[in-house]
Amino acid sequence: MRRQASQWRCSSLWVFGGCSGMVSILANQCSFVTGQRVRRAWQMGELYSSLYSERSRWSLASALWRRFQSRHAGAGKLVAALAGVFMWEEEKIREEELRRSASELQAMEGMKSQNLSRVVPGNVDAGWEIVMEKKNFWLWRRPILNSHLYEYRVLGTYTDITPRQFFNVQLDTEYRKKWDSLVIKLDVVDRDVSTGSEVVYWATHFPYPMYSRDYVYVRRYDVDLENNLMVLVSRAVEHPYVPETTDFVRVRSYQSRMVIRPHKSFDENGFDYLLTYCDDPQTAFPRYCVSWMVSSGMPDFLEKLHAAALRARNQEVGIRDYAGVKTKERLTGDAAHTGAPGQMEYA
C-alpha cells in the first residue's frame, strides 16, 4: 500500500508538473504572439504616420472604428466603455431629428397674422400656455410629464441682421466666450466625420446662490437650401473626455432645437426663428421659481445673441461661417468636417 501511495504521489507530481509546464509554455507563446502583434501595430502606425496627414489618419481611424461597431454592436459598446471611446453611432443626432425640428416651424407659418397668444404652438401639440408676448416675440411653456419642469418654445423675428450672422454666432464657441459673460468654459471636445456633428463642453455661471453648472452635449446643424431653412439641434450626452467633477453641477437632461426661416435669403436682413428648449438644472427650488428664471433668462439670452450678431457685422468680427461650410457640402457632396480639429472658413 505504501508503495502504491508513493507511486500515486509521484504520478500526481509528474502530471501536475507536466500541466504546469504546458501552462508555462502556453503563457510564453501568448506573450510572444501579443508582443508580435503590438510591434506590428506600432510599425503600421509609423508607416501611416509617414504616408498620411493628421487629418487623414483621424478619418482612417474613425472609419475602422465605425466598421467594427457595425459588425460587433454589442461588443463595441463594451469595448468603448472600457477604452473610453465615444459611441457616435449611438449618440449622434439623426436626420429625422433635424426634419422633425424643421417641421415644427413650418407648422407655425401663416399664424403670425393671428393672435398667437390663443394659438397652440405647432397647432398640433397640447398643453402649451403663453408666458410672454411682445413685439416680434412670443414665449410659451408646457409641463413635462412626470416632472416638475417645463418645456419652453419661443417664436421670434429679427429684421436688422441676416440669418447667416445669427446662425454662425450661435455656433462659434470662441466668439461666444467674448460676448457671453456667464461662460466659464466652452470648447468643442469631439467631432464626427460623417455628419459634422460636434460634442461641446460648456460650464456656465448660475444665479446666486446656486453653484455653477456644466453641460456636455452633442450638436448637429444643417442648411436646407431646398426649403430655405437652417436647423440646429443639441442634446445632452456623456463623453469620456469630460467626466463629471466636483467643480460644477452636471446637467444631464438638456435639449435645444433652433429653426431659422429667412424672409428672403440667408444673406439678407430678416428672418423668423423657433426655439424649443428644456433642461433640468437640478435645483431644489419649486417649479414656479425655475420657470420664472427660465422665462426671464431666455429673452435676455436671445437679446444678447442678437446684439452679438450685430457687433459681428458692424465690427466685422471674424467668426466661423458654419452656414457656408454646410452649404458647400450640399452643393458639392463633400464632407467638410474630418473628425479632427481643423480650420474652417470664416465669414
Looking at the chain, the whole-number percentage of residues with pLDDT higher than 70 is: 60
Top mean pLDDT of 82-91, 121-130, 324-333 is at: 82-91
The average confidence (pLDDT) of the chain is 76
Which residues contact residue 329 at a Cβ distance below 8 angstroms, ignoring those fewer than 6 apart?
Answer: 196, 335, 336
Distance, in Å, from the CA atom of 342 to the CA atom of 45, rounded to the nearest integer, reads 21
| pLDDT tens profile 173-193 | 999 999 999 999 999 999 998
Contacts 24+ apart (CB under 8 A), 212-215: 212/184, 212/247, 212/248, 212/249, 213/248, 213/249, 213/250, 213/251, 213/281, 213/282, 214/184, 214/185, 214/245, 214/247, 214/248, 214/249, 214/250, 214/251, 215/250, 215/251, 215/254, 215/279
In this predicted structure, what is the pLDDT of residue 15? 45
Q: How far apart are CA 226 and CA 201, in angstroms?
A: 32
271-279 vs 150-158, strand pairing mode: antiparallel
Give the Cα separation of 281 and 250 in Å (integer): 8
* DSSP 8-state symbol, 241: T
Q: Does 19 score more than 60 pLDDT? A: no
Instruction: Express each pLDDT in 196-247 by its tens digit.
Output: 899 999 999 988 778 999 999 999 999 998 889 999 999 999 999 999 999 9
CA–chain centroid gap for 161, Å, is: 26
Residue 227: phi and psi, rounded to 5, are -100, 5
Opening angle at CA 187, ends 253 and 84, nearest 5: 70
Distance (Å) of CA 319 to CA 166, 182, 306, 323, 343 = 11, 20, 15, 11, 12
Confidence of residue 14 (pLDDT cuts 50, 70, 90): very low
**pLDDT tens digit sequence for 91-140:** 889 999 999 999 888 777 655 555 555 555 544 456 888 988 988 999 99
C-alpha cell at 28: 510564453
Residue bearing the bigger pLDDT, 251 or 46: 251
The closest alpha carbon to 220, from 122, 309, 109, 99, belongs to: 99
- What is the distance between the alpha carbons of residues 147 and 282, in angstroms, rounded to a whole number? 12
Inform me whether the pLDDT recorded for 331 exceeds 70: no
Amino acid identity, residue 231? V
Take residue 32 and report the three cell numbers written for it: 510572444
Q: Is the pLDDT of residue 153 over 90?
A: yes
Residues in the chain: 347
- For residues 184 and 145, give the distance between their C-alpha atoms in angstroms, rounded to a whole number: 32
Residue 107 CB: number of other CB atoms within 10 A?
A: 15
φ/ψ of 77, rounded to 5, equals -65, -40
Give the Cα separation of 210 and 326 in Å (integer): 38
* Number of C-beta neighbours around residue 288 at 10 A: 11
> Would you call 202 exposed, middle or buried from its count of C-beta atoms within 10 A (0-12, 13-18, 19+)?
buried
**pLDDT computed for residue 346 by the predictor:** 30
Which grid coordinates are listed for 234?
A: 443639441
pLDDT top residue among 321 and 51: 321
